[in-house]
Every structure is written in structure tokens, then in C-alpha cells.
Amino acid sequence: MSNDSAFVGSIAELYEECLVPVLFEPYAADLAERAAALAPKRILEIAAGTGAVTRKLAAALPETAIVATDLNPDMLAIAERRDTTGNVGYQPADAQALPFATGEFDLVVAQFGAMFFPDKVAAYREARRVLEPDGSFVLNVWDSLDANPGSRVIHDAVRAAVPEPKPEFLARTPFGYHEHAKIEADLRAAEFALVRIERVECASPPGDAARLARGLCLGSPLAGELARHPPEARERALIAATEAISALAARGPLAMSALVVTASN
């Protein structure tokens, strides 16, 4: 059985080194800007990972109290170690059972975490519970794999490089929750009255194609799927992914597409 939420040990370190600069920092800046416009007094971040959004939020809102949480202590430890601010507290927490009081926050933020929640409605219901009545829930999720060509070519190259069982993590989880109607239905099932979904396009920084291949193959749960195969097959998959993404990057910037969702009462 897959564990698509396991970001532990070396995976967490490689995630921070390879994936945060390439995939997550551009969208972290977008979320922090949206958060700052709301002028919140107390923010809860769920699925904070290694702190890409946390650092942007703390810089944009230095007077705001921020609590950053994640299911994976190894990820959160990296976030806390990199923190140089004084307005962030860190606490391991399951988004589906938050250890906070009702109405404790006026903004809940989640970057690229919702796709990993086994019970998304339960997690959304918890986000709504800890929000004060006029609070907002701002999250983003990846658009489809086809709308993210860099990740698409890595997915295809890795699958072509190894025998059965073929890796499915990228299509199944990070890029598997992008249907507007489904996202809105889940949030409304959690009793959010207002839901707005926007598509936001960014580009990965130039020169980071090989880093993206390494990060996805070794710094995400895709590594667990590849670990089912012999070492030579895993090496073949990494080489194939690197070659495929490098060829794509040679033709221009690597486009990315995500959906930014704002929900409120």
C-alpha cells in the first residue's frame, strides 16, 4: 500500500534542497501576498512542509502570530531550523484533527497539502472550525499533470524506465486533485459558503531542470515507488527523468500551473 504522505529522513532534506526552490517558492510568494492583503492577526498554516510559505508569511506579516503545523515531524524540523523570525511557532498536527480551539485563527493557509489529506472534507471541516466567523481559508493545489509539463515529462520518463509496478505517485496524488467542481464540492460539504478558485501560472527558475528530476525521484514519495525496483532500475529512472526534463528546459522556461482557492463563510 502506498503512503503518499510520508516525507521523512533524506526525503525531507531533498525536498527542501531540490523541490522548494523549483516548485514551491514562486507559489509561496503568491500565497503570502494574498495573506498580507487580509491583514490577519493569527494564522494557522497546515501542511507547512519545510516552511516555504511559513518564511514568506513571517516576512510579510512580522506582527502576526503564526502557527505552522505538519503531519511529518522531519519536515517541520527543517522549517523550524531555517526560521530566523520570532513570530512563528511550530507544532506537529494532523490537518484532519487539529489540536486548536474553535475560532482560534482568522486565517488558515495550506500550500500544496490538500492533495495529501485522506479525508479532504474532514480536513476542510477542521479548518473551518478553527476559523473565527469572518475568517478565510486560502489554499493552493496543483493543476493537472498535463498543465505542468516539467512534472509530466518526469512522470512519463520514470514510468518508461522501470518495469511493473509502474510509479503512479505524481499522477495519483500531487497532480490528482484539480477538478474545480470536486474541490468546490468538498469545501461546501465542509460548510464553507463562499468558494473562489483561480488558476495561477508561474515558471520554475532557469537552470533547475536536473534539480527538479532529482527532487521528484528522490525527495518525494515517488522514491518509495522506485525503491520497489533494483538499484540499477532506480538509477536508470533518474537518468531518464533528468534527460527528459533537461531536453524540455532547453526549449524555454518550465511552465507551472496551480489552482488558488479562497473559502469563507
| pLDDT at residue number 118 | 96
- 209-260 confidence digits (pLDDT tens): 999 999 999 999 999 999 999 999 999 999 999 999 999 999 999 999 999 9
Domain locations in the chain?
10-264
Question: Residue 8 above 50 pLDDT?
Answer: no
What average pLDDT is seen over the chain? 95
| pLDDT at residue number 10 | 76
Place of cell 517558492: 25
Confidence of residue 15 (pLDDT cuts 50, 70, 90): very high
Question: Residue 1 above 60 pLDDT?
Answer: no
Amino acid at 139: L
| pLDDT at residue number 34 | 98
Closest CA to 3 of 145, 172, 126: 172
Full-model pTM: 0.94
Under a CB-based contact definition with an 8 Å cutoff, are residues 205 and 22 in contact? yes
Bridge-based pairing state of the strands 105-111 and 88-92: unpaired
Under a CB-based contact definition with an 8 Å cutoff, are residues 92 and 71 in contact? yes
**86 to each of 55, 78, 94, 183, 235, how far by Cα in Å?**
11, 16, 24, 34, 42
Residue 44, C-alpha cell as written in the block: 494557522
CATH fold of 10-264 = Rossmann fold (3.40.50)
| pLDDT at residue number 9 | 55
Neighbours of 169 (CB within 10 A): 21
% the chain with pLDDT above 70: 97
| pLDDT at residue number 240 | 98
- 64-97 confidence digits (pLDDT tens): 999 999 999 999 999 999 998 889 999 999 999 9
